[in-house]
Amino acid sequence: MSDSPYIIDVTQGNFEQVVLEGSQERPVLVDFWADWCQPCHMLAPVLEKLVQEYEGRVILAKINSDEQQALAASFGVRSLPTVMIFRDRKPVDQFMGVQPESAIRALLSRHLPRDSDTQRDAAREQLEAGDAESALTTLQAAIDSDPDNQAIKIDIARALMALGRADEADDTLKTLPMDLHQDEEVQRLEAQIQFARVAARGEELARLEAETESGDNPEALHRVAAARILSEDYESALALLLRLMQKHRKYGDDAGHKGLLTAFELLGAQHPLVKEYRRKMVSLLY
């Protein structure tokens, strides 16, 4: 075991504390290695040099894959060395094989805490308090001071959505680098934007809601469902989308079916409503 406080041998017993809990405070570099793996021994000094240089801003967790086979299998490790970066209890980046120091440094730099993250945290608090305008101002200042911190744009898009500016939120997300487009938060925002573009509002919403009670007008079903998604009345929204799919498959190029799929993406595969309504949707398809 290393004498450095920044390099820790990890087992099933301390994985939760070192990697999952630790990644909520700073990035954790998880090195899956084995004693027989020569490339692992070549990579190790590079990783250790970097974490020593960062002096606690990042931790190196070393997992012997032969001794901790269940851990390696749970993260789909198939070749060694495999190195993953954990942030907020989940892997956010990885590489396999021996990499040059410059490449590893560049990868780490994307996940290390930066001054603009403090502004992001402040903006999130403003947004949670319902002050989207102030949050947007804070985020604009953050990205002006740190334009390389592209993740700020995700928060900007969220603030724009809170202000009802869906098209601007969409334009912002389109400027993200490709790797961030795979972020679950981005995918949820993109789903919300799709619903925002068709959602009924104000007096029109009240009128269309009355129509959904008295009949099966496809426009009413679609636009009211979208409004209820945005207000987080998910069960009612899914019921309306299912009804739209059942009654009007040709409306909006099968808008009910597409709306259900978008809602499932927004809620996530493990949400109980997704499991329930996916079964109902499949029964209509087949």
% of residues, the chain, pLDDT over 90: 87
| Catalytic member of 2, 14, 20, 37 | 37
**253-278: average pLDDT:** 95
Query: In this structure, is residue 72 part of a structural domain?
Result: yes
Indicate whether 216 belongs to any domain.
yes
- Quick one: 67 and 142 in the same domain? no
> Does the active-site annotation cover 37?
yes
What pLDDT is attached to residue 74? Answer: 95
Q: Cα separation of 53 and 13, whole Å?
A: 28
Instruction: Please tell me whether residues 34 and 61 are part of one structural domain.
Output: yes
Q: What is the mean pLDDT of the chain?
A: 94
Q: Is the separation of the CB atoms in 230 and 195 below 8 Å?
A: yes
The total number of structural domains that make up the chain: 3
Q: Which of the residues 10, 30, 40, 193 is marked catalytic?
A: 40
- CA neighbours closer than 13 Å in the CB half-sphere of residue 7: 15
CA distance 46 to 268: 38
Contacts 24+ apart (CB under 8 A), 253-261: 255/218, 255/222, 256/221, 256/222, 257/281, 257/285, 259/195, 259/222, 259/225, 259/226
Instruction: For residue 212, tell me if it sits in a domain.
Output: yes
* Domain endpoint, select from 188, 217, 248: 188
pLDDT for 8-19, tens place per residue? 999 999 999 999
40: annotated active-site residue? yes
Clarify whether residues 164 and 120 are in a common domain.
yes
Note whether residue 196 is domain-resident: no
- Residues 41-100 have pLDDT tens digits of 999 999 999 999 999 899 999 999 999 999 999 999 999 999 999 999 999 999 999 999
Last residue of a domain, one of 109, 125, 153: 109
Range of the domain at 24: 7-109
Based on the domain organization, do 134 and 151 belong to the same domain? yes
Contact 90, 121 (CB under 8 A): no
- 23 with 105, same domain: the answer is yes
Per-residue confidence (pLDDT) for residue 262, from 0 to 100: 96
At how many degrees (to 10) do helices 132-145 and 152-162 cross?
A: 160
Same domain? For 62 and 93 the reply is yes
What is the Cα 163 distance to its own chain's centre?
21
